[in-house]
A and B are shown apart, each in its own frame.
Chain A
Amino acid sequence: MIKKNGKAWLYLLPAVLFLGAFMIYPLVDVFIYSFEEGYNSASQTSFGTGLYNYAYVLHETYFLQAVKNTFILVIITVPLSTGFALLVSVALSSIKPLRNLFQTIYFLPYVTNTLAVGTVFLILFKPMEDMPGLVNMMIQAFGGDIIDFIDGPYWAKMFVLSFYTVWVVLPFKILILTSALASVNENYYKAARVDGASKSRIFFRITLPMISPMIFYLVITGFIGAFKAYSDVVALFGTELNAAGMNTIVGYIYDMLYGKSGGYPSFASAAAIILFAIVLTITVINLMISRKNVQYA
């Protein structure tokens, strides 16, 4: 076969080489590290192989906190951002004047730097000595007490993080969904109108099934993206995430490698493999659900 397709393999070679060296090899390596106890990258030695790394990681409170944070983030932001994006896209598709302006506004977060946005969120949510921050000013106006959203209670921090995540992932989803909505043939709507279908029925019986592959795509990538959350958390809460109680799984992996208490590639690898297992499981469940509910024309 190789002889027959020699030319094809030759063309593929650069990609295969790069992918092999920078994707496949590290992946395999991470898998091996995760079973090597006390691996030292400087001396390239370990004490032996076994499941100790996994046992350690799964018993560590920081890791469990990170898993909890990540799951809460995923469960809140994926449905919320997808649903909200759908709402905005439908609204955008049904207005004519100023549509381009609104599209641009909604797309802005996508092209804005994460850390810059983080700074803006700090100004919005962080109470300072001389001013309470915009959000707290509003809370005060309604007679509430000042809440420290950045260094305060857990739920407040989680609220800001979720809010931020939804806001950041929204533009891409809106972009995908508006183009999906635009690609539904006008004739289906005409036919439905002649058939006497109400607006809500047209939406649920025709529009939604016709764009369901795109919604499904967004849900899957949304899950994966939210499970990999890290830079957003740093932008909001700084690098001392364990202390803030706001670490994520990816943050934990990073800390294990390069953090102040880091230098443990074996633990980091084990955590990474656990993350991989979680994402894989969720994606498989998603695929199974979608097989019943997604309509591919």
Chain B
Amino acid sequence: MKISLEHLTKIYPNRTKGKPDVIAVNDFTFEIPDGKLVGLLGPSGCGKSTTLNLISGLEAPTSGRLFFGDDDVTNLPPERRGVGLVFQNYALYPHLTVLQNITFPLENLKGEEKLSKAEMKEKAYEAARLVQIENLMERKPSQMSGGQQQRVAIARALVKKPRVLLLDEPLSNLDARLRLQTREEIRKIQKETRITTVFVTHDQEEAMSICDEIVVMKDGIVQQISAPQTVYDDPVNLFVATFLGTPEINVFTGRVADEQLFIGDEAVLPRKGVADQPVYAAIRPEGFIPDGDGPFSMDLVRVEVLGRDTSVVSGHPDARNLSVRSIISSDTKVDPGQARIRFSLKPWKVYIFNRDTEERIYPQ
């Protein structure tokens, strides 16, 4: 089921006098293609959870329209939209067993849709098999680990065969190892069921690893909608560039003069066709090559050996980050004793942004 947002806006009126209203979601217009897993990514307060609540119907938009396929669902209550919702804290009913939790949505069906007890049980087991918890059906939520509880929550969301599956930070309450495992599983279940899924997260790595498409948001405004690799390789502005990637991209204040990018006094890279102006230059950690004759010099702080890679931590007065991090292959040896280190740059890992608008100006 394709989801279309058309100028969707949510404004929370501020009750305190004199303070402005909060625009949680500002004029969202985009499409979530059928059968895809789409991640809403952004820092807290960017409006991603509000967007999810608007799609689920738990909140009504201030203006704009929402379509599932060709159906206008803007004014439909949540139960008639056919959505399954998974919460960050699972929201499993603590007094019900796993089986009762999963059958709960089925028991609410009325009229022709009403199911017999046996049918409910069968459907519940079907959903439970999908997330591999069919041997835990008689347990109470408190007798299970976080990962198992999350599976139950997913089974409960899927049991009614919803048109859309919504996941609100589903991995945030899990420990690191479980998080990896569960996210693979969510991906697998999504591929098996081919259900259109919206996944809210503030963790860029999570979004990058499992989503077909990422919607990057900030302050209620969509920044960029693209495939994960595109968002990483082709960020439209400085925010997107800094939000994606670990370690974070290195940002320098610099200027373009005579078709050269200057950071400090050094002309670090030729940039043809860019007008002279003050800029932000952002360089991915993997964009540095240690090179004794390189154009870009920095103070060497320390060298961290990470096994497969080596992380070179250095400092530069024009860097916006506290320290400049570069990731280089561990085959390249760096003498940790030297005070200065010189780099040459991979041109395709260097982005130039306008100093005022922070929009990207190079590559064009």
Check A187–B94 contact: CB distance below 8 A.
no
The reply to whether the CB of A5 lies closer than 8 angstroms to some CB of chain B is: no
Residues 169-212 of A contacting B (Cβ, < 8 Å): 185, 187-188, 190-198, 201, 205-206, 209-210, 212
Residues of B within 8 A of A205 (CB): 93, 104
Residues 100-151 of B contacting A (Cβ, < 8 Å): 104-105, 108-109, 142
Check B89–A194 contact: CB distance below 8 A.
no
The reply to whether the CB of B254 lies closer than 8 angstroms to some CB of chain A is: no
Residues of A within 8 A of B93 (CB): 188, 191, 205-206, 209
Residues of B within 8 A of A188 (CB): 91, 93
Check A194–B95 contact: CB distance below 8 A.
no
Residues of A within 8 A of B142 (CB): 297
The reply to whether the CB of A93 lies closer than 8 angstroms to some CB of chain B is: no
Residues of A within 8 A of B105 (CB): 195-196
Distance between Cα atoms of A188 and B83 in the complex (Å): 16
Question: Which residue of the partner chain B has the closest CB to A188?
Answer: B91
The reply to whether the CB of A295 lies closer than 8 angstroms to some CB of chain B is: yes
Residue from B57, B77, B87 within 8 A of A191 (CB atoms): B87
Interface size on A, residues (CB 8 A): 20
Distance between Cα atoms of A192 and B84 in the complex (Å): 11
The reply to whether the CB of B79 lies closer than 8 angstroms to some CB of chain A is: yes
Check B94–A194 contact: CB distance below 8 A.
no
Check A295–B87 contact: CB distance below 8 A.
no
Residue from B58, B87, B160 within 8 A of A193 (CB atoms): B58
Nearest CB in chain A: distance from B131 CB, A = 17
The reply to whether the CB of B78 lies closer than 8 angstroms to some CB of chain A is: yes
Distance between Cα atoms of A36 and B57 in the complex (Å): 73
For B238-262 the 0/1 string (1 means CB < 8 A from A) is 0000000000000000000000000
For A259-297 the 0/1 string (1 means CB < 8 A from B) is 000000000000000000000000000000000000101
Contacts A185-B89, A195-B105 given: A295-B83 contact, CB under 8 Å? no
Residues of B within 8 A of A196 (CB): 78-80, 105, 108-109, 160
Contacts A187-B87, A196-B108 given: A210-B95 contact, CB under 8 Å? yes
The reply to whether the CB of B85 lies closer than 8 angstroms to some CB of chain A is: yes
Residues of B within 8 A of A187 (CB): 87, 89, 91
Residues of A within 8 A of B51 (CB): none
Check A194–B108 contact: CB distance below 8 A.
no
The reply to whether the CB of B156 lies closer than 8 angstroms to some CB of chain A is: yes
Interface size bucket, B side? 20 to 34
Residue from A191, A195, A198, A210 within 8 A of B94 (CB atoms): A210
Question: Which residue of the partner chain B has the closest CB to A294?
Answer: B95
Residues of A within 8 A of B94 (CB): 210, 295, 297
Distance between Cα atoms of A187 and B149 in the complex (Å): 15
Residues of B within 8 A of A190 (CB): 58, 85, 87, 91
Check B95–A197 contact: CB distance below 8 A.
no
Residue from A185, A194, A197, A201 within 8 A of B58 (CB atoms): A194
Residues of B within 8 A of A206 (CB): 93
Question: Which residue of the partner chain B has the closest CB to A190?
Answer: B58
The reply to whether the CB of B196 lies closer than 8 angstroms to some CB of chain A is: no
Check A194–B109 contact: CB distance below 8 A.
no
Distance between Cα atoms of A196 and B78 in the complex (Å): 7
The reply to whether the CB of B56 lies closer than 8 angstroms to some CB of chain A is: yes
Nearest CB in chain A: distance from B201 CB, A = 17
Nearest CB in chain B: distance from A133 CB, A = 46
Check B104–A194 contact: CB distance below 8 A.
no
Nearest CB in chain B: distance from A287 CB, A = 18
Listed in ascending order, the chain B residues whose CB lies under 8 Å from chain A are 56-58, 77-80, 83-85, 87, 89, 91, 93-95, 104-105, 108-109, 142, 156, 160
29 inter-chain pairs at a CB distance below 8 angstroms, sorted by A residue, are A185-B89, A187-B89, A187-B91, A188-B93, A191-B87, A192-B104, A193-B58, A193-B78, A194-B58, A194-B78, A194-B83, A195-B79, A195-B104, A195-B108, A195-B160, A196-B78, A196-B79, A196-B80, A196-B105, A196-B109, A197-B104, A197-B108, A198-B108, A206-B93, A209-B95, A210-B94, A297-B94, A297-B95, A297-B142
For the complex of A and B, 6 pairs with smallest distance between CB atoms: A196-B79, A295-B95, A297-B94, A195-B105, A187-B91, A196-B108
Given contacts A194-B57, A297-B94, list 4 more A-B pairs with CB under 8 A.
Answer: A196-B108, A196-B160, A205-B93, A297-B95
